[in-house]
Amino acid sequence: MKRPGTSAAIRQRVKPLYELSFHKWWFDELIDFLIVRPVARLAGVSQSVIERGFIDKGITGGATGAARVSSAAVRAVQTGFLRYYAALIVIGMVIVSAWFLIQT
């Protein structure tokens, strides 16, 4: 090094340009302020309102509730006796046949 302190002197002379260059024109801060933070807020709102309120409680919650109710009804009917199952199939076939005969 021929003259120590030259870089510090140049840095002091063009301090605004040095700061602008050192902070990369504050591009990251600008992107964070204009894009990242608003999108993060929007994502938080949509996760709490749409995801939890509409999807979890409405769509998937409704399907889950219907599956629970129908499985409880099926469990109450299941006895394990083959005779009862065969009788239900025969009764169902009679009802369907009667429906078709009455329709014509």
Q: Which residue has the higher pLDDT, 37 or 52?
A: 37
Q: Which of the four pLDDT bands, split at 50, 70 and 90, describes residue 89?
A: very high
Domain count within the chain: 1
Tokens 């002091």 found at: 12
Task: Confirm whether 56 is domain-assigned.
Answer: yes
Average pLDDT in the 28-35 region? Answer: 93
Task: Confirm whether 1 is domain-assigned.
Answer: no
> Which residues span the domain enclosing 52?
6-103
Nearest C-alpha neighbor of 48 from the set 60, 37, 56: 56
DSSP state letters, 44-95:
HHHIIIIIIIIIIIIIHHHHHHHHHHHHHHHHHH----HHHHHHHHHHHHHH
Which residues are CB-neighbours of 23 under 8 A, at least 6 positions away? Answer: 29
Task: Confirm whether 79 is domain-assigned.
Answer: yes
